Amino acid sequence: MNFLMNLIWFVLGGFISFISWIVIGILWCLTIVGIPIGMQCFKFAVMAAVPFGREIRISESGTSFVFNIIWMLLGGLALAAEEVIMGVIFCMTIVGIPFGMQHFKHAKLALMPFGAEIYRIA
């Protein structure tokens, strides 16, 4: 079931989230200092491509908080706004609600990617 939902997700708009994370990751990797941030973006691009069957855990460490503030100012707000808009559009239909909820989950991730851990659920 997760495979089918991921396939439908990717075709109906998940590719937009995937491409957005890849582009932001590439832009961060253009600078030597931004490579760790870019690598984090690539990790979450995979989550944006196939979100069903995966969950996100966000830690509360102080180091992550500082990086998340910097991230929010330099790219996170744009990604979060994109995810919220797409989530609202999907939630306008009954069939699209599960996909809209995934976009809202990604909006939280777009605001606070540092300290986040992706894990599979059975």
Q: Is the pTM of this model over 0.75?
A: yes
pLDDT band for position 61 (cuts 50, 70, 90): low
Model pLDDT for residues 66-91, shown as the tens digit of each residue: 888 888 888 889 889 999 999 999 99
Q: Which runs of consecutive H residues, i.e. helices, occur in the chain?
A: 2-9, 15-29, 35-49, 62-71, 77-91, 97-111
33: enclosing H helix or E strand: none
Interval 26-48: pLDDT, tens: 998 998 888 888 888 898 898 88
d(C-alpha 59, C-alpha 117), whole Å: 8
Calculate what percentage of the chain has a pLDDT beyond 70. Answer: 96
Question: What's the whole-number mean pLDDT along residues 112-120?
Answer: 81
